Chain A
């Protein structure tokens, strides 16, 4: 069965510091990959996605992620954290074939940004 692992349920950074949220997936076939963000008391919002093509994907709010097939990873980065980035982030896999209507969610990483 496919799975998604997010390393670190809580990450804390200083304002202006690099943000790195780690995600690894298990799949024999590269799936579609997404990062979603959930701000307090809101639903989830798409940050970025990888389907095919360029492995470095840019998203909203200055975030980007790189798909590395050899490492089965899809880590999320932002060069300089802002206070408004404090939220919960979910790495999500959509199987390439079979069960295509099902997303597989990581457990989430809560990002705290301090002054």
Chain B
């Protein structure tokens, strides 16, 4: 079974803190993605990576950065957390072509106080 794991299910941070969300996949997929999920808005793409050290901005990259030093690991960084970044964060990975499915992790529910 494909496994995408995320470092935390629930996280509570304070405004201004630096936050790291980690994602690991075990299927040797080239592509990895970070989304945030908010009620009524579906999923919105923050960043994606198509190879080690390669990244591209998604639809809502402001306030976020990413790191991909190893193929299996993709990190999302909130440099200075703000209350409007309270959300569910989902990581996904995909091998090969666009018609292949994305495999999702269980999500991290982040609350910024």
Interface residues of A (CB under 8 A from B): 9, 32, 34, 36, 41-46, 49, 51, 90, 94-96, 100-103, 105-108
Q: How far is the CA of A96 from the CA of B98 in the complex (A)?
A: 8
A107 and B37 alpha carbons, distance in the complex (Å): 10
User: Is the Cβ of A51 less than 8 Å from the Cβ of B43?
Assistant: no
Counting from the closest, the 7 A-B pairs by CB-CB distance are: A43-B104, A105-B42, A100-B98, A51-B99, A44-B104, A46-B101, A105-B43
Cross-chain contact B90 with A102 (CB below 8 angstroms):
no
For the complex, give the distance between the alpha carbons of A102 and B43 in Å: 11
Q: List 6 A-B contacts (CB under 8 A).
A: A42-B107, A43-B4, A44-B92, A49-B99, A102-B45, A102-B59
Indicate whether A101 sits within 8 Å of B31 (C-beta atoms), given known contacts A43-B104, A90-B42, A107-B42.
yes
Do residues B101 and A34 form an inter-chain contact, with CB atoms below 8 A? yes
Chain B contact residue count (CB 8 A cutoff): 25
Q: In the complex, are the beta carbons of B56 and A43 less than 8 A apart?
A: no
Number of A-B contacts (CB under 8 A): 57
**Complex CA distance for A42 and B9, rounded to whole angstroms:** 10
Residues of A within 8 A of B43 (CB): 44, 90, 103, 105
Q: Which chain B positions have C-beta within 8 A of A102?
A: 45, 48, 58-59
| Contact (Cβ within 8 A) B42 A42 | no
| Binding site secondary structure of chain A | loop
B90: A residues at CB distance < 8 A:
43-44
Known: A43-B104, A101-B31. A32 touches B99 (CB 8 A): yes
Residues of A within 8 A of B101 (CB): 34, 46, 49
- Kindly provide the distance from the CB of B48 to the nearest chain A CB, expressed in whole angstroms: 5
Provide the bound-state CA to CA distance between A44 and B42, in Å: 11
Query: Cβ of A46: which chain B residues have Cβ within 8 Å of it?
Result: 101-102
